[in-house]
Structure 1
Amino acid sequence: MRHAIAAALAIAVAVPAVAQIASTPQMPGKPTAKIAAGTYQVDPAHTQVTWTVNHMGFSMLQGQFGASEGSITIDPATLAQTKVDVTFPIDQLSVTSAQFAGHLKSKDFFDVAANPTARFVSTSVTPQGATRAKMTGNLTIKGMTKPVALDVTFVGAGTNPMSKKTNFGFTGTGTIKRSDFGLGYAAPVVSDEVKLMVNAAFTA
């Protein structure tokens, strides 16, 4: 009898938990969702480029850029023909110190008065499985253009419940050198190597 009561109690506890899991709202974006072929605009509110440098061997230092405009032309049937063109407002860079932001915007680094934006234009895409690809392109900063390679991963796609439009996005990682773009101030005290982490969002 005791065993029957214990079993009944266990079931009574488990059923609400299972029901709660089953009723948990699902995110609208799915990594398995299909994207209709077409050209989509970059979503400035949800696109970020985070850069990381080694600061004097003491710490890792990060900053961030958004995106002001751009697009992706994509067809799931011919992913190798994907084209990306995005502009980044360097004059709106984000760091945790206003004084540091001012220095980065000066002629020592980005010289934003003369070069307020940067731009990435893809030149090739090599699919690597269902959700990954190697993307190469030309990155222009301070009027200097250099090739950059990014390892890209598809995050997901779906209908945005607020805008009712198709949204999808990718993450990307890569490495560049500051000196390639005339940003070599304070090297080698601050690393020449810059690690990039890209969160790119697009919308119909």
Structure 2
Amino acid sequence: MKTTLLAAAFAVTATAGFAAPEKYVLDASHSQIVFSYNHLGYSTTYGMFSGFDGEIMFDQEDPAASSVTVSMPVKSMMTGWEKRLGHFMSPDFFNAQDGDMVTFTSTGIEVSGDNTAKITGDLSMNGVTKSVVLDATLNQVGTHPQAQKPWAGFDASTTVLRSDFNVGAFAPYVSDEVQIMISIEAMKAE
């Protein structure tokens, strides 16, 4: 049952029965990554990435052999305040240059429940790569009512330490821990 539901998340169509991995691509207009951190104990501050690229490859017969890759330019970060964004792009944090990317490449998927999985992967940013585990949930899978093609939606979350990626300025006053919340939609590739 567990592997069946995870399989559905990536590859169910009205004519199911695939032996090879199938490619799904992220719907950039309905996929976002929101991050939050504690600011000096006074507030929780948020930022976001949206409009990024990614793909999911799924092997229906062996869901653990599936994979996920996502990438986004560091400079596509949104903070809601121009001066904060400028500070994040400065040498205090990312020292971001055009072309600098944040990437995630899965290295393993473990089904953990009827509609949940642990996705382990390599998160790379600011010249550092660390292994992280995403707690992922299948929200829904089926035929998209407007696009009329197979579609899937997922949420995931994890917590990372900024200092692990050399962006730990002002810790512990500004929390080292950053909570990451992910919500994506993916469509079967043509």
1:133 to 110, 117, 126: 117
Select the residue among 57, 67, 73 that pairs with 1:73.
Answer: 57
Mapped partners of 1:80, 1:189: distance in 2: 40
Q: Tell me the SS of whatever aligns to 1:96.
A: coil
Contact 2:7 2:58 in 1 (8 A): no
**Cα distance per residue 1:49-105 (max 9 Å; x no partner):** 111111001111111112522210113432211100110222111112111111112
SS, match of residue 100 in structure 1: helix
SS at match of 2:62: helix
- Structure 1 residues 65 and 146: CA distance shift in structure 2, 3 A: same
Match of 2:149 in 1: 165
SS in 2 for 1:77: coil
CA distance in 2, matches of 1:41, 1:32: 17
> Which of 30, 38, 43 matches 2:27?
43
Distance in 2 of aligned mates of 1:115 and 1:187: 27
Using the size of structure 1 for normalisation, the TM-score is 0.79
Q: CA separation in 2, counterparts of 1:115 and 1:170?
A: 27
Q: Report what 2:89 is aligned to.
A: 105
1:149 to 113, 124, 133: 133
Question: 1:6: which partner in 2?
Answer: none
Amino acid at match of 1:127: V
- Using the TM superposition, name which of 34-43 and 184-193 deviates more: 34-43
Cα offsets for 1:27-48 (capped at 9, x unmatched): xxxx899333511112211111
Tell me the equivalent position of 1:14. Answer: none
- Residue in 2 that maps onto 1:62: 46
Q: Which residue of 2 aligns with 1:24?
A: none
TM (norm. structure 2) is: 0.85
Task: Flag the structure with larger Rg.
Answer: 1
What residue is the counterpart of 1:5 in the other structure? none
Q: Secondary structure at the match of 2:135?
A: strand
Matches of 1:70 and 1:117, distance apart in 2: 13
Tell whether the 8 Å contact from 1:176 to 1:194 is kept in structure 2 after alignment: yes
Which structure dedicates a bigger proportion of its chain to strand? 2
| 2:43 pairs with 1:82 | no
- CA gap 1:200/1:89 in 2 versus in 1, 3 angstroms: same
Task: Report the number of matched residues.
Answer: 174
Amino acid at match of 2:73: P
What 5-or-longer segments of structure 1 have no aligned partner? 1-30
RMSD over aligned Cα, in angstroms?
1.9
Q: How much does 1:114 deviate?
A: 5.4
Aligned match of 1:202: 186
